[in-house]
C-alpha cells in the first residue's frame, strides 16, 4: 500500500473481502479478548483504546506493518466524526451494534471540509467498513447497543507519498451548512470539542 503496488481503493476492497471471511471466535481468542476486557472501565465519552499483541503463532509475522487497537464504547458513545490524512483504516465490529456514518471528503478549506454523506446504517457483529484518502474518508460510529461495544481497528500510515498534510485524524462537525448536491460544509474542530459534541 505504501509503495503503491496496491492502490488505496483496491486495499479497501481486499480488506472488506478478508474481514468477511474472519472467524470471529478464533480472532477473539487470538487477541485474548476476555483477558483484554476483564475489569474494563469505559470512558464516559468517546472510545477507550485497548492496545494488544497478537499471540505468537508459527507462520505469522513477528513484525507488523500496520497499527492495531480495539475501541471499547458504552451505549451512546461514539468514535467521533473525523477524517484522515495519509491513512487507510478499517473497522471490524467485534461486539455490539453501531450506527455507522461515512462521508467522502470533497474539498479541504482553511476552516472547513466539504463532505458528502455516503453511508448511514446499522453495523452489527462481523460487519466492517474501510477508509482511505479517496473513498469514505470521514467516519463516525456511535454505539447503540445496551452492552459495551467493541471495534477492531487496523490502520496503515504514510499511504499517500508526497502528501504535504500531517498524517493523522482531522476532526469535523458533520452537522454543518447544507450545500447543493447533498454536500455539507463541515467545520474543522479540535478533538476536545468533537468529544464534547459527539463523544
Quote the pTM value. Answer: 0.92
Among the ranges given (37-51, 61-75, 105-119, 171-185), the one the predictor scored with the smallest mean pLDDT: 61-75
- CB 124, CB 191: distance < 8 Å: no
Spell out the CATH class of 8-198.
Answer: mainly beta
Average pLDDT for residues 110-136, to the nearest whole number?
97
pLDDT digit string, tens, across residues 148-165 = 999 999 998 988 888 888
The average confidence (pLDDT) of the chain is 92
Radius of gyration of the CA atoms of the chain, in A: 17
CB 196 within 8 A of CB 81: no
Amino acid at each position: 500500500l505504501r509503495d503503491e503496488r496496491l492502490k488505496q481503493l483496491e486495499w479497501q476492497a481486499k480488506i472488506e473481502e478478508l474481514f468477511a471471511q474472519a472467524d470471529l471466535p478464533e480472532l477473539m481468542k487470538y487477541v485474548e479478548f476476555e483477558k483484554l476486557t476483564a475489569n474494563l472501565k469505559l470512558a464516559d465519552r468517546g472510545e477507550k483504546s485497548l492496545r494488544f499483541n497478537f499471540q505468537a503463532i508459527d507462520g505469522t509475522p513477528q513484525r507488523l506493518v500496520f497499527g492495531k487497537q480495539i475501541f471499547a464504547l458504552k451505549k451512546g458513545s461514539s468514535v467521533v466524526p473525523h477524517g484522515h490524512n495519509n491513512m487507510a483504516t478499517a473497522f471490524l465490529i467485534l461486539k455490539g451494534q453501531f450506527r455507522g456514518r461515512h462521508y467522502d471528503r470533497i474539498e479541504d478549506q482553511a476552516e472547513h471540509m466539504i463532505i458528502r454523506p455516503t453511508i448511514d446504517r446499522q453495523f452489527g457483529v462481523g460487519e466492517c467498513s474501510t477508509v482511505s484518502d479517496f473513498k469514505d474518508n470521514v467516519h463516525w460510529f456511535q454505539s447503540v447497543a445496551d452492552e459495551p461495544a467493541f471495534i477492531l481497528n487496523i490502520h496503515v500510515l504514510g499511504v499517500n507519498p508526497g502528501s504535504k498534510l500531517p498524517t493523522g485524524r482531522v476532526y469535523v462537525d458533520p452537522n454543518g451548512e447544507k450545500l447543493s448536491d447533498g454536500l455539507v460544509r463541515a467545520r474543522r474542530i479540535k478533538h476536545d470539542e468533537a468529544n464534547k459534541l459527539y463523544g
